[in-house]
């Protein structure tokens, strides 16, 4: 693999190479558009570095193999999209229950059921709430460029192991397929973690018997509260004097930054918050927003609006914490169904808010 700095590389391939360089030595999965390049890349690259690659017979088999790799203390990764990620949910709950770190890449595509092949952001609720049974959360990272996708892949492994959790890299079809310059991370020496199975070690949490679930619940909440306090990540600008604040992540977040720049140049007091972690949601980003802000505008690529719910919850909570007696500022959303909304479309959303044509959701 070339080590040229800043080389042009496709998003999916940057994620795969970054995982290799982060020390991942096991990949198991099943192909599905628009994530298949990750698997194809791993099929030859993993062999080069002495790792193991398995094309499983199904998504369910793939995630269960990841449980095996993670149990052995090996950095393990899988990737899929849409219905494939849905099929992996039970395995992700098992990883979460047994506190086994792993990285799951979701290259999001649009639609219900088997969906379509179009780039979208319609999996936000599932990934941020935990899409399977039980009380659990996954750390969810949302890149907006090929470079950030590579960087966050390395970070995903670090966070997964720091908290013994599943990290989800929630990217999008458009980002997975596009090419940009990317400085790939340095190669790390793979390591096998001491808590992995070695013929002697037994994970006492496996199974449903002889466990103090109430005690485990207390520890679980303590861990999740620690993650929420210390791992919120975001990018923001112009929020201290903003009349309106745009909130968007991923590729729409990238377009929103361009829209805000143009609107500011025209004299409009607008700012943006771009969540980099969807969970934990970056509530702290809202602390510096102009207290007289007139409203928030959620920009997202889905049919119903999902990110808008977390924005509204955060705005309401912030008001209560500050003891505000006035009503929370309105939160608007004009979902862009699928694809990446253009700068022009985002600016049109703002115009609709000012004219009253776009009504608040909350």
Q: Is 270 a member of any domain?
A: yes
Is residue 264 located within the same domain as residue 293?
yes
Cα–Cα distance, 312 to 294 (Å, whole number): 13
In whole angstroms, how far apart are CA 142 and each of 215, 232, 241? Answer: 32, 12, 26
Can you spell out the DSSP letters for 107-123? Answer: EEB--STT--SSB--TT
Sign of CA dihedral 277, 281, 287, 292: positive
Domain limit, last residue, from 175, 210, 230: 230
In a domain, 1, yes or no: no
Residues 137 and 189 in one domain: yes
Among 230, 252, 271, where does a domain finish? 230
Q: Do 226 and 238 sit in the same domain of this protein?
A: no
Give per-residue pLDDT as tens, 167-193.
999 999 999 999 999 999 999 999 888
Same domain? 218 vs 239: no
Q: Where are the alpha helices (DSSP H) in the chain?
A: 11-21, 36-48, 59-71, 82-87, 89-97, 124-129, 146-163, 173-177, 213-230, 250-265, 307-322, 343-355
Are 242 and 224 contained in the same domain? no
What are the pLDDT digits (tens) for 116-160?
A: 999 999 999 999 999 999 999 999 999 999 999 999 999 999 999
Check if the beta carbon of residue 59 is closer than 8 Å to that of residue 80. yes
| pLDDT-flagged residues of the chain (< 50) | 1-4
Give yes or no: residues 285 and 324 share one domain: yes
134 and 242 in a common domain: no
Asked if 267 and 178 sit in the same domain, the reply is: no
pLDDT at 3: 47
Choose one of 172, 201, 230: the last residue of a domain: 230
What's residue 207's pLDDT?
62
Tally the domains of the chain: 2
Q: What pLDDT, on a 0 to 100 scale, did the predictor assign at position 195?
A: 80
User: According to the model, what pLDDT value does residue 5 have?
Assistant: 62
Residues 53, 148: one domain?
A: yes
Q: Which is nearest to 38 in space by CA: 52, 27, 49?
A: 27
pTM equals 0.94
Contact 129, 115 (CB under 8 A): no
Q: What is the pLDDT of residue 298?
A: 98
Q: The domain spanning residue 319 has which CATH number?
A: 3.40.50.920
pLDDT value of residue 211: 81
Domain that holds residue 250: 234-355
- Are both 45 and 104 inside the same structural domain? yes
Same domain membership, residue 258 and residue 194: no
Q: Looking at the domain assignment, is residue 314 inside a domain?
A: yes
**If residue 182 lies in a helix (H) or strand (E), which one and from where to where?**
strand 179-182
Please report whether residue 361 resides in a domain: no
Question: Based on the domain organization, do 304 and 339 belong to the same domain?
Answer: yes
């Amino acid at each position: 693999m070339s080590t040229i700095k800043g080389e042009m590389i496709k998003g999916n391939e940057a994620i795969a190479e970054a995982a290799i360089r982060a020390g991942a030595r096991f990949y198991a999965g099943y192909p599905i558009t628009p994530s298949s390049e990750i698997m194809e890349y791993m099929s030859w690259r993993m062999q080069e570095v002495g790792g193991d690659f398995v094309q499983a017979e199904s998504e369910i088999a793939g995630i269960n193999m990841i449980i095996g790799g993670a149990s052995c203390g090996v950095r393990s990764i899988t990737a899929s999209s849409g219905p494939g990620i849905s099929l992996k949910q039970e395995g992700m709950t098992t990883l979460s229950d047994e506190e086994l770190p792993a990285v799951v890449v979701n290259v999001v595509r649009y639609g219900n059921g088997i969906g379509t092949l179009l780039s979208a952001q319609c999996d936000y609720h599932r990934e941020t709430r935990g899409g399977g049974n039980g009380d659990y959360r996954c750390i969810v990272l949302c890149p907006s460029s090929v470079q950030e996708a590579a960087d966050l892949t390395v970070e995903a492994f670090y966070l997964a192991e720091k908290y013994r959790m599943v990290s989800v890299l929630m990217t999008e079809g458009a980002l997975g397929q596009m090419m940009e310059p990317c400085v790939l991370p340095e190669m790390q020496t793979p390591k096998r973690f001491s808590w992995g199975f070695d013929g002697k070690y037994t994970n006492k949490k496996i199974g449903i018997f002889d466990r103090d679930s109430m005690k485990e619940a207390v520890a679980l909440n303590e861990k999740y509260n620690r993650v929420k306090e210390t791992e919120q990540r975001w990018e923001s600008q112009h929020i201290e004097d903003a009349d309106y604040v745009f909130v968007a992540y991923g590729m729409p977040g990238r377009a929103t930054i361009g829209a805000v720049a143009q609107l500011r140049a025209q004299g409009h007091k607008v700012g943006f918050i771009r969540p980099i972690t969807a969970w934990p949601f970056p509530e702290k980003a809202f602390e510096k927003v102009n207290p007289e802000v007139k409203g928030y505008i959620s920009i997202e690529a889905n049919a119903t609006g999902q990110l808008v719910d977390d924005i509204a919850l955060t705005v309401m909570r912030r008001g209560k914490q500050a003891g505000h007696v006035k009503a929370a500022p309105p939160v608007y959303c004009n979902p862009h169904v699928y694809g990446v909304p253009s700068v022009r479309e985002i600016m049109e959303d703002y115009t609709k808010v000012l004219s009253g044509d776009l009504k608040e959701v909350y």
